[in-house]
């Protein structure tokens, strides 16, 4: 049985702790689509996807979050972007060979994690975190310690389910402005840490929560769908194209007959021929956005 991707929020009635449970397997498969990433890069993208979904669900406002790992190692960049509607996309850039048993640090080399929070209205916030932990979850927990001081734990599981890439995870966070008892939080962390990949990949959320916390009183809220959605469009490509020097654009046209702009995130191609380009410069983009 496969459930479609959903984010669930829940609350412990007897502790000042909230939780999230997310499954993103379908979205994960779409992120991997059209790419041939090495196994550890696939796994890392799955972890980033789970983490970004869990993070965007902590937003108190409309906006989006980008979680990006970058460094001088064979994996130059891995990035996932998501928003409060749980629309997600992501991409990785591999610049040299990555062995199947590579760790996070071997892949990234000297690098950092950059978390950008961009509210629809208001100022962007960017946090740069050293990659101190062994795993992505540990690095993110360090970020929470630095930025919000709300004790937060992430539980990320990636793997396969029914022969397809699968990814899911959970988050526990002490509620703000309430001095949660540290022992209580540790107790809940220990319970949550026993969650198995198969349970997260295959079972309905209420059943997972029951298995983990059957002695606790938990309120589970209405879920939110998680979907893959790329924000690229013909218009955005046109906007980028028109910022290039005209000679450069003319040269590209001469060389190939048209300009083929490719989106790394979703694999879409946007092709501009000489007529399209001419229309750009007269302020008329000609064709309407083909994606919508």
> Under the rule (CB under 5 A), what is the footprint of Zn ion?
230, 232, 263, 265-266, 268
Q: Which is nearer to Zn ion, 34 or 206 (CB)?
A: 34
Shortest Å, Cβ 268 to Zn ion: 5
Distances (CA, A) of 173 to 155, 198, 222, 275, 279: 12, 23, 19, 55, 52
Q: Which is nearer to Zn ion, 139 or 230 (CB)?
A: 230
Shortest Å, Cβ 175 to Zn ion: 37
- Which pair of structure tokens corresponds to residue 20? 């999230």
- Which pair of structure tokens corresponds to residue 186? 């540790």
Q: Which is nearer to Zn ion, 49 or 208 (CB)?
A: 49
Distance CA 172, CA 54 (A): 10
Shortest Å, Cβ 228 to Zn ion: 10
Shortest Å, Cβ 288 to Zn ion: 17
Q: Which is nearer to Zn ion, 50 or 232 (CB)?
A: 232
Shortest Å, Cβ 92 to Zn ion: 15
Q: Which is nearer to Zn ion, 3 or 233 (CB)?
A: 233
H helices within the chain, ranges in order?
25-32, 39-56, 104-108, 136-147, 182-193, 197-202, 205-213, 234-242, 246-256, 274-281
- Which pair of structure tokens corresponds to residue 178? 């309430």
Q: Which is nearer to Zn ion, 136 or 266 (CB)?
A: 266
Distance CA 10, CA 190 (A): 17
Listing DSSP states for 245-279 in one string gives -HHHHHHHHHHHSEEEEE-TTT--EEEEEHHHHHH
Q: Which is nearer to Zn ion, 147 or 268 (CB)?
A: 268
Query: Which phi and psi (to 5°) does residue 286 adopt?
Result: 70, -100
> Is there a contact between 169 and 185 (Cβ–Cβ < 8 Å)?
no
* Through-space distance between the first and last CA atoms of the chain, rounded to whole angstroms: 32
Distance CA 261, CA 87 (A): 23
β-bridge mates for residue 6, sequence order: 23, 225
- Which pair of structure tokens corresponds to residue 5? 């991707």
Q: Which is nearer to Zn ion, 176 or 267 (CB)?
A: 267
Shortest Å, Cβ 93 to Zn ion: 15
Shortest Å, Cβ 108 to Zn ion: 24
Shortest Å, Cβ 266 to Zn ion: 3
């Amino acid at each position: 049985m496969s459930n479609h991707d959903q984010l669930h929020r829940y609350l412990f009635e007897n502790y000042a702790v909230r939780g999230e449970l997310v499954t993103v397997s379908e979205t994960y498969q779409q992120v991997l689509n059209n790419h041939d990433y090495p196994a550890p890069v696939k796994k890392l993208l799955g972890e980033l996807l789970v983490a970004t979904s869990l993070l965007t669900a902590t937003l108190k406002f409309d906006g989006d979050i980008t979680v990006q790992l970058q460094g001088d190692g064979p994996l130059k960049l891995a990035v996932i972007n998501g928003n409060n509607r749980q629309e997600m996309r992501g991409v990785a850039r591999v610049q040299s060979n990555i062995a199947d048993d590579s760790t996070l640090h071997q892949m990234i080399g000297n690098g950092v994690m950059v978390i950008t929070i961009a509210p629809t209205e208001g100022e962007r916030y960017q946090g740069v975190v050293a990659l101190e932990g062994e795993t992505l979850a540990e690095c993110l927990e360090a970020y929470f310690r630095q930025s919000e001081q709300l004790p937060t734990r992430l539980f990320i599981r990636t793997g396969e389910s029914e022969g397809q890439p699968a990814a899911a995870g959970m988050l526990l966070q002490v509620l703000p402005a309430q001095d949660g008892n540290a022992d209580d939080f540790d107790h809940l962390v220990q319970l949550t840490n026993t969650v198995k990949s198969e349970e997260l990949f295959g079972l309905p959320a209420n059943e997972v929560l029951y298995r983990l916390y059957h002695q606790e009183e938990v309120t589970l809220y209405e879920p939110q769908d998680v979907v893959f959605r790329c924000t690229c469009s013909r218009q955005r490509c046109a906007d980028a194209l028109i910022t290039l020097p005209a000679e450069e654009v003319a040269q590209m046209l001469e060389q190939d007959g048209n300009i083929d702009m490719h989106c790394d995130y979703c694999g879409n191609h946007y092709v501009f021929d000489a007529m399209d380009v001419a229309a750009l410069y007269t302020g008329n983009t000609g064709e309407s956005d083909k994606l919508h």
